[in-house]
Structure 1
Amino acid sequence: MVKEITNSCLGLLYEEIYNAHLERNDVLFWRRLLKLSEEVGELSEAYLFTTANNNYKNKTYHDVREELADLVVMALDLSATRLPGEEHLTNEEFEQLQLNTVKRKLAKWQTKK
């Protein structure tokens, strides 16, 4: 049941992100990649301050959750970009490529437990 809900929610999330940013190309890819790096830094900062003894920026776990969301949005947006050599793929083929790539990476993670 949880897996079905998660799959459904992730699909809807991906669709929302994909539809929110219609201009994807390799010219803008590097800028969005830099933005992803910025989001990693902001997430790290939020977590470090939240867990620090001297949290002078008054960060909370709510800030951590917000930065996680920014990171996920940027990562999924980048994954929706067709890279050089993928332009000829149909939408179905591109979706299958993405799914196969994620499955392969998850299988790799599972072997490292």
Structure 2
Amino acid sequence: MTVPTASEISEYISTLSRWIDEGNAARPTEAQTWARLAKITEEAGEVVAAYIGATGQNPRKGITHTMHDVEEELLDVAITALAALEHVRGHDRRAIELMTEKVRRTMQRARIDTGA
């Protein structure tokens, strides 16, 4: 399997985002955007639920998840957020480019050498 380029990943994310938009085409644009943003919070809640389940913090339920489940939920949050970014930006296929720029700026603020 070849590793996709940043451009290809952005295309995948944009394609997913367009697919979601097509499924919600009957809704007003503002309602679509609210739903996309709220979905990020829902996915974040699933991360917490998976972590509670992986660590057995609910004594009534015990261990119900694995750390792999937590990782999968974290990835769902990332995909959902990046797809919402594509939606908000009109599907310009720049999600990964913008994420990379954001990571660089964050590292600069933290005074971490990017090596670039």
Q: TM-score, normalised by structure 1?
A: 0.62
**Structure 1 residues without counterparts, runs of 5 or longer:** none
The 1:104–1:49 alpha-carbon spacing in structure 2 relative to 1, beyond 3 Å, is same
Higher relative contact order (CA 8 A, sep 6+): 2
TM-score of the pair, normalised by structure 2: 0.61
Cα offset for 1:52?
Answer: 4.0
In the alignment, structure 1 residue 40 sits paired with structure 2 residue 44: yes
Identity of aligned residues (%): 23
The 10-residue stretch of structure 1 (7-16 or 20-29) with the greater mean CA deviation from structure 2: 7-16
Is the contact made by 2:10 and 2:96 (CA closer than 8 Å) also made in structure 1?
no
Q: How many residues align?
A: 101
User: Partner letter of residue 12 of structure 2?
Assistant: L
Q: The residue matched to 1:40 in structure 2 has which SS?
A: helix
- Indicate conservation of the 8 Å contact 2:14/2:83, yes or no: no
Aligned counterparts, 1:24-63, within 5 A:
25-52=29-56, 56-63=62-69
**Map of 1:5 onto structure 2:** 3
> Structure 2: 5+ residue runs without aligned partners?
none
Q: Does 1:18 align with 2:22?
A: no
Partner AA of 2:71 in structure 1: R
Counterpart contact for 2:33–2:87, Cα < 8 Å: yes
**How far apart, CA to CA, are the structure 2 residues paired with 1:62 and 1:20?**
27
Distance 1:109 1:71 in 2: 19
Alignment of 1:72 onto 2:69:
no
Deviation at 1:44, TM superposition (A): 1.7
Q: CA deviation at 1:42?
A: 1.0
1:107 and 2:108 aligned: no
> What root-mean-square deviation, in Å, do the aligned CA atoms of Structure 1 and Structure 2 show?
3.2
Distance 1:100 1:74, change over 3 A: closer
